[in-house]
Amino acid sequence: MKQIIQNQLQHLQNPDNDSAAIWKGAVICKSAGICKSVCKVSVKALLLFAATLLISSVAMQAGEAKKAEAASKEAEKKAPNKKDPSIPAKRLFGFVLGPADMKAKSIGYFTRGCLAGGEPLAVDGPAWQAMRLSRNRNWGHPKLISYLEKFAKAVKEKDGWPGILVGDLSQPRGGPMLTGHRSHQIGIDADVWLNPMPDRRLSYKEREETSAISMLDRSRLKVNPRVWTDQHVKVIRRAASYPEVARVLVHPAIKKALCIASGDDKDWLYKIRPWYGHHYHMHIRLKCQNKGCKDQPAPPRAHGCDKQLDYWFALLKRTPKPPCHYGSLQRKGKSWRCECPKSLKRVAIGKKGGAKCVNEDGTLPKPKVVRKNLAWMPKACHTVLDKGAPPLWKARNLDETIEQPIRKAIADKVVAKDEIGDLIEENIEPEKK
């Protein structure tokens, strides 16, 4: 309190402040030889007014300090214990708003790791636009950001492609995500859509609602000639051409189309790896850029247009197993059926034996042990999570399907908007037209 009063007195006498007029007026009145009785009244009135201002200002500051202290204690109570084994790591990393202020480093494996010193890809560039801004997943290792920028410019200048639409990279500090990916955890993965960038800047709403275009026809085994073009071949080849790229994941039907289009020039295709999904976008993965990052085994140098593709198409034609949540799949003749424990109720999903096992009240059971908690992560990721200003942690009760953690945080008044700063301005606020 004493310090606050001293600060206010200095503020009152500061000639740059409006409040100084009161102090100055009293001095001028006395020195000007004005009638003593009038001057005394004026001086007393001015000083009384100044004292009132001082006391009210001190009281306001003291009240604000108490409120801030109470809010801080309340936030500490709400923040989950990171060492609690029942809290999944994805809930800790999935709601962090900003990067760890550390030297850039990918830590661990692409499905079990984190990112230090992450950098954001600019929302707009000369040859790219970032999509799904509300997810806050446009972060990556600086080498990934540099790669995407030069790749986007190259396809526009050399391959006649208007520019790229960039989907998910990583979260600000990497780590497992609340929804979507198992990979993308260490800042060296990027999803690039297979539809070209439009010739105008997309609005915030359009970036949230525009859908990527599938390259497949109705059979799901071939590319659709109405959307697949020779330019797609050039763009994917360009993506794989850089030495820092480890592999590019695409749907098996797209890999087959690339094999056909390449003719005898198939040497570059060894980096193009078939994988489930990936018919709306290609998934680019870089090689590790530092020690402490574990690379995926390098793909064999063979082009993979023969037996490897045959294997994948056999998988695609096979009848898929039905979904089974909190139960176990059991073989019933030529088909599968999801069976539930006696303590849970079976709720059928679809018509082919799928089910989810729920409690009597319809809620999903909580697992007794969460395997993928913070202890499951590399130890260096504990430091990444704690580094700098306390990140936003939300504990047990948030719906995991939420795709907009930052907006949810603001709505819940978990963190003040001015504390988030540029991140909110760039990634959350709707475009003002």
Domains and CATH numbers, the chain: 2-78 (no CATH), 89-317 (3.30.1380.10), 324-358 (no CATH)
According to the model, what pLDDT value does residue 111 have?
Answer: 94
The CA-atom distances, in angstroms, between 401 and each of 90, 94, 278 are 12, 11, 21
The pLDDT of residue 24: 45
pLDDT at 398: 40
Whether 399 has a pLDDT exceeding 60, the answer reads no
- Comparison of pLDDT for 352 and 302, the residue scoring more: 302
Q: Is the pLDDT of residue 208 over 70?
A: yes
Q: What average pLDDT does this structure show over 395-412? A: 41
Give the per-residue pLDDT at 334: 81
pLDDT for the residue numbered 412: 43
Kindly state the average pLDDT of the residues 295-316.
93
Mean pLDDT calculated for residue range 291-319: 93
Encoded tokens for 115: 């990112």
| pLDDT of 35 above 70 | no
Q: What is the pLDDT of residue 392?
A: 52
Most confidently predicted of 12-21, 89-98, 183-192, 322-331 = 183-192
| Residue-level pLDDT at 2 | 47
Asked if 116 and 154 touch (Cβ cutoff 8 Å), the reply is: no
Q: Residue 174 and residue 117: Cα distance in Å, rounded? A: 10
Tokens 């690379």 appear where?
Answer: 295
In the predicted model, is pLDDT for residue 362 greater than 50?
A: yes
Is the pLDDT reported for residue 174 higher than 50? yes
Across 308-322, 355-369, 408-422, least confident range: 408-422
Q: Quick one: pLDDT at residue 369? A: 67
In whole angstroms, what is the distance from residue 84 CA to residue 212 CA?
Answer: 39
Q: What is the percentage of the chain residues whose pLDDT exceeds 70?
A: 70
Residue 292: partners with Cβ closer than 8 Å, 6 or more residues away: 105, 106, 107, 108, 380
pLDDT at 51: 62
- At 44, the pLDDT band (50, 70, 90 cuts) reads low
Per-residue pLDDT of 368-390, as tens digits, reads 667 788 899 999 999 999 887 55
Work out the average pLDDT over 393-414: 41
Inter-residue contact 236 to 258 (CB < 8 Å) = yes
* Burial 203-235, CB ≥16 within 10 A → b, else e: ebeebbebebebbbeeeeeebeeeebeeebbbb
296 pLDDT exceeds 50? yes
As a whole number, the mean pLDDT across the chain is 80
pLDDT above 80 for 363: yes
